[in-house]
Structure 1
Amino acid sequence: MPLIRALFAGALCVCASLVAISGVCGQNPVQESPDGAATLNAQTSWIGNTFGYGNGTWTQINMTAIAVAPDGKVYTDAPWDESGAESGIYQDGKMLGYANGTHGWGNGGGNAVAVNHRYAFIAVSVNTERDHLIGKGVWPQKGHIWYGVSRREIGDPQRTAPFQPVANATDPRARLAASLAIVSDVAWNVHNEVTGLAANDKVLYVATAALDRVDLYDPDSMMRKGSFKAHEPGHLALAADGSLWVLTDTLSGKSKLVHYSASGEALDDTLPLPSDSVPADVTIDAQGRVLVADNGPRQQVLFFSRQNGRYVASGSLGERGGIFSGVAGRPGPQRFNGLTGVGVDQRGNIYVSTNGIGPNFSPPGSGFGAALGAGLGTTLESYSPDGKRLWIVQGLLFVDGAWIDPARPNSVYTGNKRFELDLSKPAGQQWTYVGFLSNRFKYPEDPVFHTDQWPGMPIARQVKGHTFLYLTDMYADHLKIYRFDAARDGETAIPSGLFGGRGMRDPKAIPAAPPGGDWIWRDSNGNGRFDEGEFSRNTTGKRLVGGWGWWVDTAGDVWRTVDSHGIYRFHFGGLDKAGNPIYSYDDMQAYAVPAPFTQAQRAIYDASTDSLYVTGYTDDAPPQKQQWKEVGRVLVRYDKWSSGKPDARYTLKLPWDTNAKPIFTIIGLTVEGKYIFAVEPAGVVHVYDKDSSKQIGVIRPGPEIGRASGWVDVANGVSAARRSDGEYLIFVEEDARGKVTMYRWKPS
């Protein structure tokens, strides 16, 4: 019996990305457009996720912990999955379901999971949604948050397993609360997350790094029956003899492994870990071997066996260096990338989870925040005892778009990945993951890791025979620039330039940067680091921060649209000796906001016709604050833009109805071939003839993805490419279920 079910009754849709065309979480039925546009005949496909949601399944976007049952079912946990699968269940390459009640309405996931023969134990959090949720025994008191362990039935983790009276039998949230062992009841800004779990049928161990403590619970009564001290304990592994392996020092920068007796006494035996190892997880197989997921430079699972009373190294799983060995960034079997979990089943099969960076128990916003892994791509793999990969599931994208590689028509860039397409295959099978672009070991200052929690929306351009990748962040604050050198760096995108906006999330994120933002950095010495003397400050007197509009044209010019302040063009100034594109405030052209606009939201320049497509607001069509990422209500095409006397070719009233559910507006647009492609927040694409502005029709999410789309949650969430046979590929950011939607449309 499949475990997929609807979210529990009465759940609140707290994420815009869960709202689909009908306004209901996870639903997106085909319906007529409010403006009467015809639905075009297009195939819906996707890239970046093993499952497209056509059958209600998807691979979650992050995994920070796994537990493996003897039969090979894998239970996961993570702080966040956009569609509520923080705790998923997988087996034999399939998603079986997820444990609901970990997302929204005050509920959150966590960083630990364990199973015994009866129950699944999941680390979770419960808050009051800024004190809007009130109910004794169901929610914390005002200003507080609960961190604890949610107990579920092992056969169906959507079924809670209460161990105390249910405050209200008709309220499913009360049943959740009755299944929660509260480990910490603290003020909302205190981070006492549960960081490790291990269980058998007699004891449940619960680690809390912030408290330097491991607690012992009875798994049936869920009463605490003891505790022992350990320094910043994290993931745990319970041996057959009752002893416990504990990751310690998990908040201090480099974790360690300590062996404890069942009663919590530190034992006098250690593992001969390499000096550069960074243990991320630990498990024990039926042979008594200790398996350690090493998230250091090795990126391997290390095996240790007991011989003559001591532990010795006895093997490994994975290429040394992981995805960064050989051709750096090239994924494949045993090429791990950011290990977070390791487990084994009764047959000796090994399971490995990754998320592109590794586990993190630090509070969100503190450097590598816990949500960062949600943007770098998660994988769960199974290997036979002899190291043969049995299966893999992937959830690789979050708040991410796609752009066709200008040098390779079947190659696609996303924010920090590359995919290859084979359009002869069925929908959803047309993509292959071939490149991870971010190398944290060689380029640790890469702003992908530091300036925001997600890589960013891509624009790929080829200038002077070289391909460059430009990335805007989720809030259009800054623009990152990357170059490539396949001979030296494989698939890696090398940090090359950065237009700084209002200032970075963490002032220390960009070393040597001038305070306050509004500068340009160029990697003059080619080392991919932010060095003194590589920044130029804006001294024009025009502060270029705010606004939503970034565009890079085919000549490499960067366009910046700043609300009512104007439109700015940074001319491509060639390449420096390190191969970086040159941009300068001295070579910037400023344009006033053109009539009839009072505020410009986007400006897209088409060099082939010297046309600028501007969107925004006018006196007759003003903005409303709640539509903060939209392109505006009006589009005007200006021809002869570079002449200084542009002609307004036409004015197009864009879809806009704030009373529609979901909101009927345009969140992003692009120009390609003969058409303008404009996307609604719920993934519907409007197609216009770019010469006449006539609407051709709309493209809607098809049955291949359950007729559903998450919210387009960025300012530049659509791109398009015309293929040689006249077919268009349209890519839409879809952050709900770990993928990018790809529409295939061929005009008749």
Structure 2
Amino acid sequence: MEKRLGTQLSNLYQNCSQYINKLSLNRNFRGLKIYLFILLLSMAVIIAPIGSPISETVTLNRVTTTSYQVSAKPAYKTSWLGNTFSGKKWVQIQMAGMYVAPDGTVYVNSHWDEAGREVGIYKNGDVIGKVDDLHGWGRLGGIAITANKQYLYVGMQQSPEGKPEDDYPPKGTTWYCVRRYTLSGKPAPFAGGRGWDKSMLIINTKNEVAGLATSGNELYVSDVATDSIRVYNSDTMQELRSFSVTNPGAIAIDRQNNLWVVQNKKNKTAAKIVRYTPQGKQLPQQITDVVQPTAIAVTPQDKLLVADNSQRQQVLIYDIAKKPVQIGTLGDKGGIYSGIRGEVKDSKLYGITGVGTDTAGNIYISNHGFNNTGADLRKFSPSGKLQWRLLGLQFLDNADADPDSDGKDVFTKNEHFVMDYSKNSGKEWTYKAYTLDKFRYPDDGRLHTTPTSVFMRRLGGKRLMYLSSEMMAERLLIYRFDGEIAVPCGIFGKNHLKWPANQPKNGSWLWHDVNGDGAIQTNEYKTLGEEDPSVWGWEVDSKGDIWQAAEAGYIKHYPYQKLDKHGCPIYGQGTGEKISMPAPFTTLTRIKYIPKQDVMYLGGYTSDRPNLDGDWGLVGTEIVRYDNWSKKRTLRWRIALPYETNTSPKLHIKSMDVAGDRVFAVASKMAEVYAYNATTGKQLQILKPGPEVNGESGWVDIPYGIRAFQRSNGEYLVFVEENAKGKVMMYRLPG
């Protein structure tokens, strides 16, 4: 009844709005303004309790776009963090290789971008385009890219997702290709080309193309599968010749048209950079003092730039007129770990994947952290001064606020942001620090797994970070802080997994970093009991206690004891308390406990509202509040969550959180946030992506895709995963 009334009133509201627009064209309209304003205001009051903005939605390529008409509750505003841009423009989430054209146009290649910018095109600090048709149908980008005056050449791969008669590879085969494009990003087919549009040149079926460069009308390709450089006519794409180079990588061509080729480390052989003639004759010049060369380029002054992705994290500059001599560097030695480790500065690099120059001598550098943890593209002047920087830092990620900072310090799984809420949407955040230290802590789970969401807590006055790991909620990773670096110090594992290698073979387990070195030793494990593969619900309450909710029908509770001498929380073996699933649930999936109130919120399925389509990883169909949880466990209310299995897309709730007097739940496909009164369980409103982000969002893929925090001024910050375009959504809602 309420839904039907809301629809009727909404339609009436829209009709009146349209009528007013027509009347506004009439000169007698002024005399009707007061009457119509009162009429619409009265209707708005009636409609408001129904709760949602009136909108039309269309889902395309996992991005949901909301076309706004009129909002019944416009009190909140939409913001975001972690990406330089918000909507139609976005910075891609990976940067695996880069080419810079003479005019400063930057082409960046990557294996994957959720919204389809596998190859992004940038200029003057702006996004100007992308390469088409590298997303879906088994197509991925790669690490190599180059161009000449007419075409762009992209290292990519094609899997057997289509029919062989449509020129897809046969089952079990992947083509590693160079695909030709126009400079604006449209496929450029050629005679003898392969693939559905005849724009692909198949290099091999074993390894991706590791390097590309052009000179005149010749295209040079690093083919790791055959340990060779293969040379093609860049117009006809016919092979001209090849010559042997062991494990070839990035290629750069100097003013004498000779090639500088990175020979990557192979077995016990160290990496080096070797010079060849265009015909393949090896020349005596070599560079052997770069530990991990990942990219090279030649400047207009015929200097060689070499990106060293080892602990140096610098671009090295060589005079190559005779014997190569290093004459300079760009970037602080040690990169992001120089000075205050993890602190972000213009001159601190991390995870360098590309380097290039334009005709003016400006230098461009692409980074994407370690284990694909954030895309970062920068332009420097010839003297090394930063000109602009573009960021695309978040993927399968969410944010949470340090509870002692009143929302000023916000963390994602790898980043620390400092917030200024007096600024406009998307401008509140400043990238303060990168909290992952690859070189000091190689056992960090962020280098070996895919963490997806952060819980920030304060225990004993110390800042701690907990990360839910993998989209299946397999582990809970625990970190203490040493300055800006999050140091791994604990792991809860619900079952036996491939990583870490020396974990207990049976049962659920706990690793505690007893000696405080951040490394995992076999004697630091404890077995907690039987395996818990059905655990989807993880909670770290404000006291530091850890809770698990299992679909098998129970809750486990691990009380926090204290911090050890290194600042790591102690939980210990045998502290787990197993609690039976309370009525009315038949399946438990989520859990949230508020110690100060002794209130428990549980999510899952009930006999009244079962899991009709068998979908997994969701909150379920109900959230239930229990008062006096530690004593009587009195059921206070039941929220029937939105649940539509016959719509397209389906309406499911993926994640929930509680802050202040609000319960928040976010839908998986449309990413709308349902806000409820925590005291009464009554729905208050629905939050949807606003015009600040082009009215769109990607799907919410992770179990903890929503985090809520209430500031001292009453304002709610609601963080929501937005994995399509490299950011975290942030709703700002008055208290």
Partners of 1:570 and 1:585 within 8 A in 2: no
| Per-residue deviation, 1:166 | 8.5
Q: What is the alpha-carbon distance in structure 2 between the residues aligned to residue 251 and residue 340 of structure 1?
A: 19
Aligned partner letter, 1:261: T
| Counterpart residue number, 1:24 | 60
**3-state SS in 1 of match to 2:618:** coil
The answer as to 2:181 corresponding to 1:152 is yes
Corresponding residue to 1:523 among 498, 506, 513: 513
* Pair 1:517–1:399, CA change in 2 (3 A): farther
| Counterpart residue number, 1:164 | 191
| Counterpart residue number, 2:157 | 125
**3-state SS in 2 of match to 1:51:** coil
**3-state SS in 2 of match to 1:270:** strand
Q: What is the alpha-carbon distance in structure 2 between the residues aligned to residue 523 and residue 601 of structure 1?
A: 29
| Counterpart residue number, 1:57 | 89
| Per-residue deviation, 1:697 | 0.7
Aligned partner letter, 1:260: Y
Corresponding residue to 2:320 among 296, 303, 306: 306
* Pair 1:627–1:285, CA change in 2 (3 A): same
Aligned partner letter, 2:199: S
Partners of 2:132 and 2:187 within 8 A in 1: no
| Counterpart residue number, 1:179 | 199
| Counterpart residue number, 1:601 | 589
| Counterpart residue number, 1:655 | 642
Partners of 1:70 and 1:345 within 8 A in 2: yes
The answer as to 2:228 corresponding to 1:238 is no
The answer as to 2:513 corresponding to 1:479 is no
CA shift digits 1:127-157 (9 cap, x unpaired) = 222xxx2153532223322110111112x11
| Per-residue deviation, 1:164 | 2.1
Q: What is the alpha-carbon distance in structure 1 between the residues aligned to residue 461 and residue 277 of structure 2?
A: 63
Structure 2, unpaired ranges of 5+: 1-55
* Pair 1:252–1:405, CA change in 2 (3 A): farther
Partners of 1:290 and 1:304 within 8 A in 2: yes
Q: What is the alpha-carbon distance in structure 1 between the residues aligned to residue 495 and residue 216 of structure 2?
A: 54
Partners of 1:238 and 1:244 within 8 A in 2: yes
**3-state SS in 2 of match to 1:658:** coil
**RMSD of aligned Cα (Å):** 1.9
**3-state SS in 2 of match to 1:677:** strand
**3-state SS in 2 of match to 1:661:** coil
**3-state SS in 1 of match to 2:630:** helix
**3-state SS in 2 of match to 1:556:** coil
Corresponding residue to 1:316 among 325, 329, 346: 329
Corresponding residue to 1:429 among 427, 430, 434: 427
RCO higher in structure (CA 8 A, sep ≥6): 1
Partners of 1:40 and 1:699 within 8 A in 2: no
Partners of 1:40 and 1:697 within 8 A in 2: no
Q: What is the alpha-carbon distance in structure 1 between the residues aligned to residue 525 and residue 141 of structure 2?
A: 40
Partners of 2:138 and 2:160 within 8 A in 1: yes
| Per-residue deviation, 1:608 | 2.0
Q: What is the alpha-carbon distance in structure 1 between the residues aligned to residue 507 and residue 354 of structure 2?
A: 38
| Counterpart residue number, 2:37 | none
CA shift digits 1:400-426 (9 cap, x unpaired) = 100011222211011111101111222
The answer as to 2:264 corresponding to 1:249 is yes
| Per-residue deviation, 1:265 | 2.1
- Number of matched pairs: 675
The answer as to 2:124 corresponding to 1:104 is no
* Pair 1:140–1:555, CA change in 2 (3 A): same
| Counterpart residue number, 2:416 | 418
Aligned pairs (5 A) from 1:596-675: 596-624=584-612, 627-643=615-631, 645-675=632-662
Q: What is the alpha-carbon distance in structure 2 between the residues aligned to residue 741 and residue 520 of structure 1?
A: 33
* Pair 1:32–1:429, CA change in 2 (3 A): closer
CA shift digits 1:612-646 (9 cap, x unpaired) = 11111122322245521210001111111101x31
Larger radius of gyration: 2
**3-state SS in 1 of match to 2:447:** helix
Q: What is the alpha-carbon distance in structure 1 between the residues aligned to residue 612 and residue 557 of structure 2?
A: 27
Corresponding residue to 1:46 among 68, 72, 80: 80
Corresponding residue to 1:402 among 381, 399, 410: 399
**3-state SS in 2 of match to 1:259:** strand
| Per-residue deviation, 1:272 | 5.2
| Per-residue deviation, 1:213 | 2.0
Aligned partner letter, 1:219: S
The answer as to 2:710 corresponding to 1:722 is yes
| Counterpart residue number, 1:338 | 351
Q: What is the alpha-carbon distance in structure 1 between the residues aligned to residue 699 and residue 319 of structure 2?
A: 49
The answer as to 2:305 corresponding to 1:291 is yes
| Per-residue deviation, 1:503 | 3.0
* Pair 1:705–1:478, CA change in 2 (3 A): same
The answer as to 2:215 corresponding to 1:215 is no
Partners of 2:507 and 2:531 within 8 A in 1: no
| Counterpart residue number, 1:7 | none
Aligned partner letter, 2:306: V
**3-state SS in 2 of match to 1:267:** strand
| Per-residue deviation, 1:39 | 4.8
**3-state SS in 1 of match to 2:518:** coil
Structure 1, unpaired ranges of 5+: 1-19, 168-172, 358-371
**3-state SS in 2 of match to 1:301:** strand
Partners of 1:22 and 1:662 within 8 A in 2: no
CA shift digits 1:105-128 (9 cap, x unpaired) = 221111110011111101111122
**3-state SS in 1 of match to 2:248:** coil
Report the structure, 1 or 2, having the larger strand content. Answer: 2
* Pair 1:517–1:668, CA change in 2 (3 A): same
| Per-residue deviation, 1:259 | 1.6
- The percent identity for this pair of structures is 38
Q: What is the alpha-carbon distance in structure 2 between the residues aligned to residue 579 and residue 436 of structure 1?
A: 20
Aligned partner letter, 1:627: D
